[in-house]
Amino acid sequence: MLDQLKAYFGFDRFLPLQEEIITKVLAKLDTLVLMPTGGGKSLCYQLPALRLPGITLVVSPLIALMKDQVDGLRANGVPAGMLNSAIPAEEASLVQDQAQQGSLKILYVAPERLALPAFQRFLHSLEVSLIAIDEAHCISEWGHDFRPDYRNLKALRREFPGVPVIALTATATKQVREDIVTQLGLQKPEIFISSFNRPNLTYTIQPKTDPLGSLLHMLDKHRGESAIIYRFSRKATEETALELSDRGYSALPYHAGLDREVRRETQERFIRDQVQIVVATIAFGMGIDKPDVRLVVHYDLPKTVEGYYQETGRAGRDGLPSDCVLFYSYGDRSKQEYFIGQIEDDDERDKAHTKLDQILALCDLRTCRRAYLMEYLGESWPETDCGGCDICLLPREEFDATEIAQKILSTAIRTGERFGANYLVEVLRGAAIKAVRDRGHHELSVFGIARDVDSDELKEMVRSMVSNGLLAQQGSGYPTLMVSQQGRKFLNNREKLTLTRPKQVAAAQRAISEQGIGIRDTAYDTKLFDELAALRLEIATDREVPAYQIFGNKALQQMAFHMPQDEVAFSKISGVGDVKLREFSEPFLKVITEYMQANGLASNVEQSPRRVPVTAPKKKVRGISLSVRETRDLVAQGLSLAEVAEQRGIGETTIRSHLEQLVQEGGEIDLEHLMPSNAKRLKIEAAFQEMGEARLTPVREMLGDDYTWQELAVVRMGMRQRQAEGVG
């Protein structure tokens, strides 16, 4: 199996639990696998599928996820196919023929198909050796993402009683695990629970004070990198995406109310790095296997801890440092409670309240967030400092909250204990709004007694007092606040109250933002990495696949660190299997060799003291990186691409990639001196109009060797600039 692991997937060793799980699957035992996103769940059935006779049937809930998995498998030389509603009838018929002829090893299917009699007859015509149920938590009503179609999976066990089943999920509480086993009819399953800890993720929960400003700061830190921003409502996704677009960011909205084709195109553009930011409801993400999302932001309060964990899990699937940020306000809490109050079924409403209380407990924590998440998911976490959440990363200080607490409690009593946090804050701050005046509360002695305290700080204090039992919430929807028995004792006995807060809150938030693990120094040559990434993008664009399906960032980092000089050394890079070695070693080795020659690096890299020329990570500026700006400025001086490359000490391919990025992001640059003759340009433009401008290869094949890749690329950039300007 290790030989096949390297040959097909390019890895030299298994991740934790993979080998044990695969051994049980090959022994034809039912298995339940709980493994965090990025932990290597898919390999637990994909690798056995190559060894087992016949075909492995994989049930997957989302079309985008299927397509991504199938494309990735094919890129690695594994014969795979899929059947879902997005596949045209002719193509579906071809896939079924391939499956029946035994030319496929893995077939992905949508759960709703299993209820169709014709599809059931088709399945019985196959030699099914393994059934894999991905996102298995969808079968449980106790889970955070229940899907009725998953209940059709019971029939699979009845129809194929001798075929082993492997159920896989990233998140499942003990109750959900038991439900999965029951619903799927798993027979004495081996249950594997990997650590849920994602050490490369930093978790931060911060008050929702100026959330847009905080978001812009984070996006600047991750400029040019992929990000997902979750919003509570469809309208909010569109508003935020528009706000970001107006500020020059590459952002699109995504929600279930959009046309299906629009959603598909948005996902495709995000996967291919044509859009950096997606602002979405939770309808987005489960079907995205994009490994290099560097930032996940919950702009609004998530509904459940499981949902929060799974959504943050879409960051850093490649194992590289990534940031997860949640903005939390008392108003979001009230909004959730209002919607829960609309649920008519008593049991469902109680479940929703329990789930909300659990996510609120996470937000209200004054101790390690990671510990709470791990213990919630059933994993003991004895450590008190994880080094990767805002609580553990930031020093806290105690402060005397006695006086402000007395003011808040007195205001609650004087106003009749009939109002929520927002109203109390209006009175405390002395806001003479109509609601306050109509009730005569502007004449109370407590009116304006906390004018000098920021309203958001006051709301946070109210939240802390609820957590500490001094205030109690009454009712659902928008709850009112009453002073508890403990709160009255605190007032009557003039007790002291000490709370904690981050030291120098504003500075602390800047510190967590700057020291977030997403921007740690790297120990590889970042200039070489940029050149390799440019080559990867060129190959991916030509093949019309996402860049990460050529090589992931980890593989490029290893190349930029070890600088392999031949196929044997290149084959040792993680992610380089037989197919990728055969197809990609030559161009990547060429870039590495030319880079080393241009920079005077010794060919025997492993022995050279200059083996790891470290360049500090590039600082980003709004819009484009400093490196791209430098290229732009030199081209604007009238230099050719070769001259710019020579002056900067990097390859022409990278220079061309910089210009492509600049044009894609709407930047302006005069390309006229780079253009071929007018006659050539007209022929190239005509060829693009006929063949489409997504790929260079068909145009090159049409025009012949008299036209260089650079000429084609520059003409295409010029066409795109004119399109952006609205010129024909």
Residue 466 clears pLDDT 60, i.e. is over it: yes
Shared domain for 244 and 366, answered yes or no, is yes
Shared domain for 414 and 494, answered yes or no, is yes
The pLDDT mean for the chain works out to 83
Choice between 630 and 478, residue whose per-residue pLDDT is larger: 630
Mean pLDDT of 582-595: 92
pLDDT at 475: 65
SS3 category, 719 = helix
391, burial (CB in 10 Å: exposed 0-12, middle 13-18, buried 19+):
buried
Mean pLDDT of 127-155: 81
Q: How far is CA 50 from the centre of its chain?
A: 29
Last residue of a domain, one of 125, 158, 193: 193
List the single range of 137-151, 226-240, 490-504 with lowest mean pLDDT.
137-151
Mean pLDDT of 34-49: 87
pLDDT at 405: 93
Per-residue pLDDT tens over the stretch 392-451: 887 667 788 899 999 999 999 999 998 888 889 999 999 888 888 989 999 999 999 998
Q: What is the H or E stretch that residue 57 is in?
A: strand 55-59
d(CA 77, CA 82): 16
**Spatial contact of 179 and 140, defined as CB atoms under 8 Å apart:** yes
pLDDT at 507: 45
Per-residue pLDDT tens over the stretch 254-287: 988 888 888 888 888 888 888 999 999 875 655 5
Residue 30 clears pLDDT 90, i.e. is over it: yes
Shared domain for 484 and 347, answered yes or no, is no
- The residue among 1, 11, 2 whose CA lies nearest residue 555 is 11
- CATH number, domain with residue 611: 1.10.150.80
Shared domain for 268 and 284, answered yes or no, is yes
Mean pLDDT of 605-632: 46
pLDDT at 649: 66
Last residue of a domain, one of 367, 388, 409: 388
Shared domain for 336 and 235, answered yes or no, is yes
Residue 57 clears pLDDT 80, i.e. is over it: yes
Q: Which residues, 6+ apart, have CB-to-CB distance to 317 below 8 Å?
A: 37, 38, 289, 290, 291, 292, 293
Shared domain for 405 and 457, answered yes or no, is yes
Choice between 611 and 684, residue whose per-residue pLDDT is larger: 684
Residue 608 clears pLDDT 50, i.e. is over it: no
Per-residue pLDDT tens over the stretch 159-215: 888 899 999 988 777 788 888 888 888 888 988 888 888 889 999 998 887 788 889
Per-residue pLDDT tens over the stretch 574-588: 889 888 999 999 999
Shared domain for 384 and 413, answered yes or no, is no
Domain count, the chain: 4
List the single range of 44-53, 483-492, 497-506 with lowest mean pLDDT.
497-506
181's tokens: 């086993």
Shared domain for 538 and 584, answered yes or no, is yes
Last residue of a domain, one of 177, 193, 209: 193
Residue 477 clears pLDDT 90, i.e. is over it: no
Shared domain for 63 and 182, answered yes or no, is yes
pLDDT at 623: 42
Residue 515 clears pLDDT 70, i.e. is over it: no
Per-residue pLDDT tens over the stretch 299-338: 999 988 988 998 898 899 888 899 999 998 877 877 788 7
Shared domain for 283 and 218, answered yes or no, is yes
Range of the domain at 455: 397-502
In a domain, 710, yes or no: no
